[in-house]
Amino acid sequence: MARAPSARTGLAVAREAGALPGFREVASARDSERLREQAAGSGGKRATPIGGHRPPLQGPQFGLSGGYSGVGLQQEDGIFMSTAIEEPKQKTGTQLNQLEQLKKFTKVVADTADFESIKAFKPQDSTTNPSLVLAAIQKQNYAHLLEEVLRDRKNSGLTGAKQIEDIVDHLLVQFGTDILQIVPGRVSTETDARLSFDVEGSIAKARHLIELYKEKGIGRERVLIKIASTWEGFLAAEQLQKEGIHCNMTLLFSLPQAVRAAVVKVQLISPFVGRIYDWYKKTNNRDYKGAEDPGVQSVKEIYTYYKKFGYPTEVMGASFRNTSQIIELAGCDLLTISPELMKELSESTEPVERKLSPEMAKSAQVERLELDEKKFRYLLNDNAMATEKTAEGIRKFAADVVKLEKLVAEKLR
């Protein structure tokens, strides 16, 4: 059976012998209650862990901010951070559903290009990619968007591959612009996955997309450019961040990728929970639930590392397979969720407890991971899951870009 990522990823935390990596409960429910009582009696200061143990990453959380509404932005070390999470108002005579409860701890992001779903669930931000756009424009409700872009770009003076690329870029930006008429926050737009190992190509594409948004009256602070989490992708993102173009590092499956993202000061990362889960489920021929889910554990590891060492880069869990994975990550900075799973959450009133917080992360025993290019490439290569899933993700996104281009080419005939 394949083993999950080992301690050499750089995070020294308690693990059960032979178990997948992650965070083990070290206090009972009674101890957790005592922690909360200590916190309440210490004037807001963090309580000393019982018996010298660090507070558990699971279970009730103390020190939550309350009474805030809306989301503001402040700049910290070149990165714009949310200053408050919108707290849903209590419905008179009814319980909050799980989606509403989750919004108390975490910024909810829609993982879709479907406008109606975004309107229905009222997320703060939204993410798109060529795969989602490809699926959307083949639906009757959204086919007109491609027709409009084709009409608008008919006299661009471009021909052949350049014309097709131009139309695809404008289509991606049109979807993003329309989504920003619905959500109050940001939209993520992906660069061409075929540029994942092309630093200058990625930079040029990102600048072009931002310029297209500008022509639509959209400021760059409302756009995140998605780039694959390769060494070259991080080099491109580092330059773009210096220019004020905020990046969302996608296809991220390991701590070394996350550490590199933080070092180059990207705005946000998207660790793929579900795809990590898929790999371990298939490789080990077993299922995982709740806190033992290796995808959940990976995000907890990354979140803890960031908060422990004060990195402002936002962590947005992505690619969920079930609501259990989402509930286990309550408290993560952001979670991007499909309409289907948001619907499931909205139909349940089971309690949602905060599982992640900066306070708990700061007390964790974590080793800092120092990376240069050689060590980054070795550690990524040494992690079979991360290597395979990063490569697979690039191939699949690239394939959908090609399908989108073929669809455009057919329309041009």
Catalytic residues: 226
The Cα 254–Cα 272 span in angstroms is 9
Lookup: tokens for 157: 């003076």
The Cα 288–Cα 26 span in angstroms is 21
Q: Using CA atoms of 231, 191, 210, 335 in order, give the dihedral in degrees to the nearest 10.
A: -80
Cα 121–Cα 251–Cα 192 angle in degrees, nearest 5: 90
The Cα 58–Cα 28 span in angstroms is 10
Lookup: tokens for 143: 């086919």
Kindly report the number of other CB atoms within 10 A of residue 71's CB atom.
Answer: 15
Cα 84–Cα 87–Cα 91 angle in degrees, nearest 5: 170
Half-sphere exposure of 315 (CA within 13 A, CB side): 33
- Inter-residue contact 313 to 79 (CB < 8 Å): yes
* Residues comprising the chain, all counted: 413
Give percent helix, percent strand, percent coil of the chain, each to the nearest 5.
50, 10, 40
- Inter-residue contact 190 to 237 (CB < 8 Å): no
Q: Using CA atoms of 338, 344, 347, 352 in order, give the dihedral in degrees to the nearest 10.
A: -90
**How far is residue 64 CA from its own chain's centroid?**
22
- Inter-residue contact 177 to 213 (CB < 8 Å): yes
- Inter-residue contact 279 to 385 (CB < 8 Å): yes
Give φ, ψ of 248 to 5 degrees.
Answer: -120, 110
Lookup: tokens for 144: 């007109």
